[in-house]
Amino acid sequence: MRDIDDYKNKKVLVLGLAKSGLNAARLLHKLGALVTVNDAKDFHDNPDAQSLVADGIRVISGGHPVELLDEHFELMVKNPGIPYTNPMVVRAQELKIPIITEPELAYEISEAQWVGVTGTNGKTTTTTLIGLLLNEGGVEAHVGGNIGIPISQVAQKAPATSKIVAELSSFQLLGATKLHPHVAVLTNIYEAHLDYHGSREAYVAAKMRITQNQTADDYFIMNWDLPEMHELAKKSKATIVPFSRKQAEGARASLIDGYLSFDGHKIMPAADLQIPGDHNVENALAAIAVAKLYDVADDAIVRVLSTFSGVKHRIQYVRTLNGRRFYNDSKATNVEAASVAITAFAAPEVLIAGGLDRKLPMDDLVPLMAKHVKALVTYGETAELMVQAAKDAGITAIKRVENLNEAVPAAYALSAQGDVVLLSPAAASWDQFNTFEERGDLFIADVAKLAAEEEK
């Protein structure tokens, strides 16, 4: 950790707790800042706030009083999940208070070189693979960020000789000003989080902040199968390293004759990947590109990619019960992510979907459901949209339930031996859960409960 004086005696407001706010507050306190934390959750039901107070940090909870900003703060560190339309954030902008997010703070104190990963889908898998490949290849790597490990924790521990592999969401990147990864990865861009960003253009601009400080000495790894990337590449000063599953011209990491390859050299058959789906071929290619930039040997790449079975909540294999394979894809919080999962299997699928209604259409799911899904179980705010999509796809086996607990046995009842039972909600979790992780964990528990009942 770099010893910096930038925050000593500086009045900083940390807006919103959760993991990022909690760790940002503690780091700022360690750096000598005059920290005030403001969190909407009531103090008596807020263990994080209570722990900060015990550490001597000022906490104001139970709401977001705009008048708090009259105290002349010099900086706001905003929880990424709090939108810029929040009255506290709007007022801070009016007062010209700089607003950053936790990764920016982490970068400032980091001694290690950064690899930053962003994109609509595939971020977590790609980030995980990069960390595994680098470590297997003898390059010490520490993984964190939007993947669930606060990046400020990682940055304090990672030595200068190591690399930090950071998953960065568009929400986090909006608060990045100095952040400068030596290697940046953009897995893909589809339509997502428009309720937060306001427009697709604003969403894309947020993603592109990952390369805003890069120079010709840095690398920007991009998905060359998407035409939009060719135009976006012109906005980066970094050396572009394209990857392609479809053998796009100019790609360095690519699929050649069924082999994962780099600069024309075949490394391993894509069929040897343990994680299903074309999207995971793309994730593997992006990770290989990073690994090769750091001179990781082929045998290390083969060892990782031939044994890696996926990350939790992203097309995660749960178990097989009476010939039905159960997969947890709770991280599919949008239509694009669910589309990836639905097309990943050759077997007939019983799909469990539904969640927060962001007023986005489900039309793109219809042809995929028509081809891959034999039955639908749905719940949550988007249930009616999902029912209509299933009907438009010609699916007649449709079951609407109240919650995920009811969905699992209902899906099992509609399945047969050889089927896949897939939780891929195509919607955020916040109508019934705090996080997609909570939703996925409940699914895993419900499957275990179902198995116990079947085995009686």
Residues 349 and 226 in one domain: no
Q: What is the pLDDT of residue 9?
A: 98
Q: Is residue 93 part of a domain?
A: yes
Question: CA 414, CA 395: separation in Å to the nearest integer?
Answer: 12
Phi (first) and psi of residue 335, to 5 degrees: -65, -40
Number of domains in the chain: 3
Q: Is residue 311 part of a domain?
A: no
The domain of 15 spans 11-99
Residue recorded with tokens 């046995």? 409
Residue recorded with tokens 């970094």? 238
Residues 113 and 63 in one domain: no
- CATH at residue 127: 3.40.1190.10
Which residue, 99, 123, 158, sits at the end of a domain? 99
Q: Is the pLDDT of residue 192 over 90?
A: no
Residues 263 and 244 in one domain: yes
Task: Name the residue among 432, 438, 193, 444 with its Cα closest to residue 334.
Answer: 193
Which of the four pLDDT bands, split at 50, 70 and 90, describes residue 306? very high
23-62 pLDDT tens trace: 999 999 999 999 999 999 999 999 999 999 999 999 999 9
Q: What is the pLDDT of residue 99?
A: 98
Structure-model confidence comparison of residues 195 and 360, the more confident one: 360
DSSP reduced 3-state for 238: coil
What is the share, in percent, of the chain residues with pLDDT greater than 90? 91
Q: Is residue 176 part of a domain?
A: yes
Which of the four pLDDT bands, split at 50, 70 and 90, describes residue 370? very high
Which of the four pLDDT bands, split at 50, 70 and 90, describes residue 148? confident
Which residue, 305, 340, 359, sits at the end of a domain? 305
List, in sequence order, every residue forming a beta bridge with 220; answer none if it has no partner.
184, 240
Q: What is the pLDDT of residue 53?
A: 97
Please tell me the least confidently modeled range out of 189-193, 298-302, 307-311, 375-379.
Answer: 189-193
Which of the four pLDDT bands, split at 50, 70 and 90, describes residue 116? very high
Structure-model confidence comparison of residues 373 and 360, the more confident one: 373
Please tell me the least confidently modeled range out of 27-41, 271-285, 410-424.
Answer: 271-285
Q: Is residue 310 part of a domain?
A: no
DSSP reduced 3-state for 378: strand
What's this model's pTM, rounded to 2 decimal places?
A: 0.81
Rounded to a whole number of angstroms, the CA Rg of the chain reads: 23
Q: What is the pLDDT of residue 310?
A: 85
Phi (first) and psi of residue 365, to 5 degrees: -80, -20
C-alpha angle with apex 28: 30 to 105, nearest 5 degrees? 125
Give Cβ neighbours of residue 213 (< 8 Å, ≥ 6 apart): 178, 179, 180
Residues 72 and 163 in one domain: no
Question: CA 155, CA 144: separation in Å to the nearest integer?
Answer: 9
Q: How far is CA 343 from CA 257, 306, 440, in A?
A: 21, 21, 20
Mean pLDDT of 131-135: 97
Residues 386 and 359 in one domain: yes
Residues 278 and 129 in one domain: yes
DSSP reduced 3-state for 330: coil
Which of the four pLDDT bands, split at 50, 70 and 90, describes residue 233? very high
